[in-house]
Structures are given as structure tokens and as C-alpha cells.
Structure 1
Amino acid sequence: MNAYDDIKKGERGAWISIAAYLVLSAIKLVSGYSFHSSALIADGFNNVTDIIASSAILVGLKISRKPPDSDHAYGHFRAETVAVMVASFIMATVGIQVLIEAVRGLYKGKRVAPDPLSAGVALFSAAAMFVVYMYNRKLAKKINNQGLMAAAKDSLSDTFVSIGAAIGIFGAQFGLPWLDRVAAIGVGLLICKTAYDIFKDTTHRLTDGFDVQQLNDMRSSISRVEGVEAIKDVKARVHGSLVLVDVVIAVDPMLNVSESHEITDRIEENMANSHNILHVHVHVEPGERIENRDSPF
């Protein structure tokens, strides 16, 4: 099944994220403590949470590849979404901890300006994370994988976090050592915001929420299919990396089963070509019958 092959490709992106975070978190934490940079230390802990979050996503992807069984007739695809939600909780917890430590640091009497080399480490990390973001974003769009897209967004957030850390470190060189602490607070806030955004998106998906504009686009596409007289209902929901669509249409009541089935085939083909949706359930109902259409009476 193509969906399972796509999920396996998504696992590759998760592994790349984990490898990048392992290297960068180690570099940032060692450099942060060595160069006395609170912002770089906070950024390092941010990447530690990313390791855990990416690992959770990887586990979710692996579980979602399990085939349907007696308890999961639709498969295990939603394990991916649950894993992303767990990752958001982990990120929020560490983000709050970073904020607490950074605020405490502001009230310490003596502050040491961080070594300028720590800013170079932050900028190098920003460049590396942007490359990871671009790779995972491209792959996530190609295979329509929401878990990998969440990982990509996290990588982009990390890029801005590292740039912010570098700005704080540079500012501290101009007699403002407290600016490094302020940058650490900014890092903590960005971690929490990313966690909230991911949580909000996964909650929407798990409660069968769906984008209204996308649903309207589907309705418009279906209405243009030859043989469809009316659309009585269109519903869609996200099932892991899949989109499941249920459609109720009205057709000419004089059509036989074979002719009605041809219309459903056209709808499925249209949804695949126009919206990249392969899982469509079409229910056909008879439309209003018009007697003797060609008769003047």
C-alpha cells in the first residue's frame, strides 16, 4: 500500500532530525557552559526536547505502519497524530523550565558577558536547522505526512531560536550582559509557542476537525463531475497522514447501477488528481425524477 511506503519515507526524515538534534544539542550545551551563555544553554535544552519529540514522532510513524487488525479496522494511522501531541507536551514542559531559569538569572547580582564565540555556534546551528527544515518540509509535502511536517515546523522554530540567541549574545558584548538572559527568555517563549501551535493542530485533527475552505474546494470539484445532479453532503476527516472523504450525491434516478458506479469512479479520479485524496466513499441517491422531459405536456 502506498500510504505505508510514504510513512516509511517519513521515518527517514525523523531519523535525520534526531541525528541533527543530537549533534547540535551537545555542541550548544558544551559551548554554552564553556562560554557562559544562558541563551545558548537554553537553545541546547530546546534541542534536547526536540530529540525526545522527534523520537516520539518516529515511534508514532512506526506504529502507524502496522496493518489493520480486528481492533483497528481503519489501521493505526492516528498513532502518528497522538505521538505529535505527546511531543508538544514534552516541548511545553521544557519551555516552561527554560523560562523559569532565565527569569531567575535576571535577578542574580553578577552577570558575566558570554564569549563572542558562542554567537558563532548559534549561527552555525541556525543554518544547520534551516537545512533540516527544508528537507523535511519538502519530504512531508511530497508524502502528505503531518507528523513530519510538525517536525519541520519545529526545525524552523529552532532556526529562529538560534538566531535570537546569537542576537542576545552579540548584544551582551556591548555592555549589556543581561541581554543574553532576555534572549534565553525569548527562547523559552518560542518553545512554548511552538508546543501550543502543534497541540492546537493535533487536537483539531483528533476531534475530526477539517479545514472549511478545503472542504468547499472539494464540493466545488465534485459538483463539476459529469453525472452529478446535486451534492447532498460532503464530510472529511484526517486519519494520520490520510484524508478520508464521505460524499452523498444525487444522480438521475433512471440510471442503472453500472452507470451510477461510473460516476463514483469519476469522482474518485477527480479527488485523486485535483486534491491528492485517495480514500473517498461515495453514496449515491436518486435525484428528482422529471417525467417526459421532451414532452410539451
Structure 2
Amino acid sequence: MFQLIVKKTISNYQAAHLPEVREKYGTLCSVLSIICNCIMVVFKLLFGFMTHSVAIQADGLNNLSDMGSNLATLFGFKLAGKHPDSDHPYGHGRYEYIAGLIISFLILLVAFSSFKESLMKIIEPEKLSFTWGAVIVLIVSILIKLWMASFNKKTGNFIDSTSLKAASQDSLNDVCATFATLVSLCLSLVTSFPVDGIIGVIVSIVVFKSGIDIFKDTVDPLLGKAPDKDLVEDIYQYVLSFDKVLGIHDFMLHDYGPGRQYMTFHAEVDCDEDMMEIHDQIDNIERNLLDKYNILTTIHMDPIDTKDELTNDLKQQIESIVKGIHEEYSIHDFRLIKGPTHTNLIFDVLLPADDEISHHELKQQIAQEVQKINTHYFCVIQIDHAFL
């Protein structure tokens, strides 16, 4: 059914990489979700009051908060689709992450409110009034929420939308909550135990955990989450497949929202080759990366001397020294500057992002080992931390 609606309302619906198509998908999912939640709010609150079920009422209020989440998603897509301006030259794509963050806060708010009401029902229980109408409403609600979870998840994966994936998970949480409410209503026929309140507490805890998970998923890209390892490996293999590129380092990938990624790295090239030919290939790589991954890339060329035996020999020795300190350490940009009284060995040492070793102590340790090779060798070291 959803696919039919898509074909009727979204032209060029298969071009998910286009910002205007992504916005249409997000708008469609948000509007459909708002309509579905509005219907469920009315019927759940009505039957919740009729049956004196705090679980049904809490479920209805949860759907009301879902409408707020859907509105946040809708506005998130609208704002994210705005063109870059002088104040935001990288676009407004992160509004979509902010929408997901708002959804997580609303989920946490509803979970807290539901938990409080459920505790009161355990302390001061009220007898539930079983009606088949309420049962039908809850079953229909489960089916609607399953449909909402399905189209939000499929669309979220198709257009790579964090906020739609969060909306899908929220709908699945609602399915669990509504099913629990249905169980408590049925159990009221055979027991006077405050099952309604107990199940309400359990559901509130589940919803709260979901809110925490969604909060983490949406705040990570805002803080600057490390890029996907498989994507980085694929990019490395692709770039190194070009004959002029001898190595890659100082890799950085910035995320300014879905479809708005910017990448920079240094490409090592042979200093003895024609720089114009190398530059032409580097330009082609930048264009190909944009076409292949939809990532705007800037590549810095690092010419290296591959024929000087002393340079190559010392580089291997320094690499062994650094690896001996920590197997995940590496070096790059290695070069020599010879003088009448000493030779400077200039290079960068790359550390893992979470490494906390003292830079001063590390430099001293490397320098002491280099002095064992030749007392006339002095190290000029730059310490870098990986962004992967």
C-alpha cells in the first residue's frame, strides 16, 4: 500500500540520493504517521476513560507524543532541505539529526509520565471494565503501528534517514506497549490483581530504554561520529587502485547530514614523476569519489622520494621503532634534511584516536632509539591522532 502511495505522490521516487526526493519521502512518512497517530489518540483516550484503564490512556498519550515526534521529523526534513547560505555554507542537513533528538526527548518524557501513572495504579488500583470495543481498538492500533514501523524503516534505510529509523523504532515500541495493554485488559477478567499498573511499569521501562537508545543514535553524528569502517576501507582500496597513489594518510570525513559529506586526505605520490600527470589523476579521483560515494573530496598531494636508499632504509628503521612501542602506531611524511653537523629526520607519528600516551614522552622515547642508530640523527616529530 505504501509503495502505491509513493508512486502516486513522488515523481522520480527511485532517485533517493537527490535532496528534493529525500525531502518528499520524509514529508510523506511524517504526514502519514501524523494521520495514523491522530486516529489512535482519539480512540484510545475514549476507550481508556470508558474502561478506566490507565494503560490504554497511557498508550493514547504516547500516540499523542508520537504526533509531536512526527511534526519534529516533518520540520526536520523541511529545514534540512534548505539550500546552503552564507551562515551555513555546508547546508542544513543536521536539522534531521536534531529532529531525531527531539523524538528521543519526547519518548523519555512519555516514559516518565507513564511510569508515574502506572505506579499510582499499583498503589491505588482501579477495576478495569472489559469491553470488546476496547479490544478491537487495541488490535487495530497494533496493526496500524506495525504498518507505520514498516514504511518508516524501509524508507529510513532507503534514504538513510536517522529520524525515520527512530520513528520506526518508536512505532515498534508502541506495538509492544499496546500488546501489553491488551494482555492486561484481558487478564482483568480473571484477576483483581493490579496487572494494569504492573504491565504499565514494565512498558514504561522498555519505552525509556528505547528513548535512551534513540538519543545515542541521534547525538552521535552531531558530536562527530567515526565514519563506517567498511566505507573507509572501500574508499582506501578504490583510491589505491590508481597507479599514481602510493599511500594514504590524514584521512578525515565530515558529516553535515545525509548526503552532505565532505572528505579530505593526503595522497603520497612519487616526487620524480610528472606533477601535471599526477595532478590530473588526483582531479579524476576527486570527481570519481563524488560520483561513486556522493562525497565531496579534497586530496592533498604529498610527494615522497622512493629512490633514495638512505631515506628508504631509515624510514623502515623508524617504522620498526614506532611499531615496537605500539603495534597500532604508524609514521608518514618521512623525509631527511642533511646538514654539515647533523641530519634531521622529519616525520609524523599517527596514534589511535583513543590513545592517551604523553606526546612529550613518546617523542623522547623515539629520539633515544634513533640516537642508537646514529648520534648525528635528530628527530623532528609531529604527533597526530587518527580520525577513524
SS at the partner of 1:244? strand
SS at the partner of 1:290? coil
Shift of 1:51: 0.3
More helix by share: 1
Shift of 1:147: 1.9
Shift of 1:117: 4.2
Asked if 1:50 is matched to 2:66, the reply is yes
Give the conservation status (yes or no) of the 8 Å contact 1:230–1:251.
yes
Say which of 279, 283, 304 aligns to 1:260: 279
CA spacing shift, 1:47–1:268, aligned 2, 3 Å:
farther
- In the alignment of these two chains, the number of paired residues is 290
Alignment root-mean-square deviation, CA: 2.6
Shift of 1:120: 3.2
1:65-214 to 2 correspondence within 5 Å?
Answer: 65-112=81-128, 114-115=130-131, 117-211=133-227, 213-214=229-230
Give the conservation status (yes or no) of the 8 Å contact 1:39–1:165.
yes
Say which of 241, 250, 264 aligns to 1:233: 250
Deviations 1:91-127 (A, max 9, x none): 2122211110110111115433543543332222111
Shift of 1:219: 5.0
* Alignment correspondent of 1:269: 288
More strand by share: 2
CA spacing shift, 1:113–1:214, aligned 2, 3 Å:
farther
SS at the partner of 2:298? strand
CA spacing shift, 1:109–1:204, aligned 2, 3 Å:
closer
Q: Distance in 2 between matches of 1:66 and 1:240?
A: 12
SS at the partner of 1:166? helix
Say which of 20, 42, 66 aligns to 1:4: 20
CA spacing shift, 1:156–1:237, aligned 2, 3 Å:
farther
Q: Distance in 2 between matches of 1:224 and 1:172?
A: 67
Q: Please, which moves more after superposition, 237-246 or 63-72?
A: 237-246
Q: Which protein has the larger Cα radius of gyration, Structure 1 or Structure 2?
A: 2
Q: Distance in 2 between matches of 1:13 and 1:239?
A: 22
Shift of 1:161: 1.8
Shift of 1:28: 1.3
Ranked by relative contact order (alpha carbons within 8 Å, sequence separation 6 or more), the top structure is 1
Give the conservation status (yes or no) of the 8 Å contact 1:251–1:284.
no
Deviations 1:229-259 (A, max 9, x none): 1110222233222343333322333243454
* Alignment correspondent of 1:16: 32
SS at the partner of 1:76? coil
SS at the partner of 1:118? helix
SS at the partner of 2:176? helix
CA spacing shift, 1:124–1:288, aligned 2, 3 Å:
same
Q: Distance in 2 between matches of 1:265 and 1:158?
A: 49
TM-score normalised by L of structure 2 = 0.68
Matched to 1:247, the amino acid is: F
Query: For structure 2, which runs of at least 5 residues remain unmatched after alignment?
Result: 1-16, 310-388
Q: Please, which moves more after superposition, 213-222 or 81-90?
A: 213-222
* Alignment correspondent of 1:249: 267
Shift of 1:42: 1.2
Shift of 1:50: 0.5
Give the conservation status (yes or no) of the 8 Å contact 2:146–2:171.
yes
Q: Please, which moves more after superposition, 182-191 or 49-58?
A: 182-191
SS at the partner of 1:209? coil
Q: Percent identity?
A: 23
Matched to 1:230, the amino acid is: G
Q: Distance in 1 between matches of 2:126 and 2:265?
A: 67
Q: Distance in 2 between matches of 1:109 and 1:130?
A: 31
Matched to 1:36, the amino acid is: H
Shift of 1:192: 1.7
Query: For structure 1, which runs of at least 5 residues remain unmatched after alignment?
Result: none
Give the conservation status (yes or no) of the 8 Å contact 1:116–1:173.
no
Q: Distance in 1 between matches of 2:26 and 2:242?
A: 37
Q: Distance in 2 between matches of 1:164 and 1:19?
A: 23
Deviations 1:111-150 (A, max 9, x none): 3354354333222211111111111211122222222222
CA spacing shift, 1:170–1:68, aligned 2, 3 Å:
same
